[in-house]
């Protein structure tokens, strides 16, 4: 679905519609790579389970941004409940994040 590598201000990634917030490596410490998948992630994706839940989408798209919204791609999702899980390379300030929607 998409990917980016960026300095994430304040170490927060925000998945907006339901506003799910993830702690990641702060911009002062380096860059974070985020990949978003539908179905199974490709080989080489992060492997540490970090979070799972359901995102309730009202408009058919959500934004994934840092706290300052300097990075803010839109993701197209089905309206209604969208189950997802997050895999990372570490539970403490991850620098690799894979968000996987069912």
Per-domain residue ranges of the chain: 2-101
pLDDT number for residue 67: 87
Neighbours of 26 (CB within 10 A): 16
pLDDT number for residue 71: 86
Backbone angles phi, psi at 45, to 5 degrees: -70, 160
Task: Calculate the CA 40 to chain-centre distance.
Answer: 15
Nearest to 8 by CA among 39, 40, 31: 31
pLDDT number for residue 29: 95
pLDDT number for residue 11: 93
pLDDT number for residue 17: 81
According to CATH, the topology of domain 2-101 is Substrate Binding Domain Of DNAk; Chain A, domain 1 (2.60.34)
List beta partners, residue 61: 76
Intervals of the chain under pLDDT 50: none
The pTM is what?
Answer: 0.91
pLDDT number for residue 77: 94
pLDDT number for residue 5: 92
How far, in Å, CA of 89 to CA of 24, rounded?
10
């Amino acid at each position: 679905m998409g990917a980016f590598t960026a300095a994430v201000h304040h170490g927060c990634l925000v998945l907006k519609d339901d506003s799910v917030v993830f702690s990641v490596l702060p911009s002062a410490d380096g860059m974070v790579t985020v990949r978003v998948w539908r179905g199974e992630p490709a080989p080489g994706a992060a492997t540490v389970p970090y979070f799972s839940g359901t995102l309730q989408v009202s408009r058919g798209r959500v934004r994934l941004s840092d706290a300052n919204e300097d990075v803010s791609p839109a993701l197209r999702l089905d309206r209604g409940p969208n189950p997802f899980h997050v895999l990372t390379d570490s539970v403490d300030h991850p620098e690799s994040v894979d968000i996987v929607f069912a």
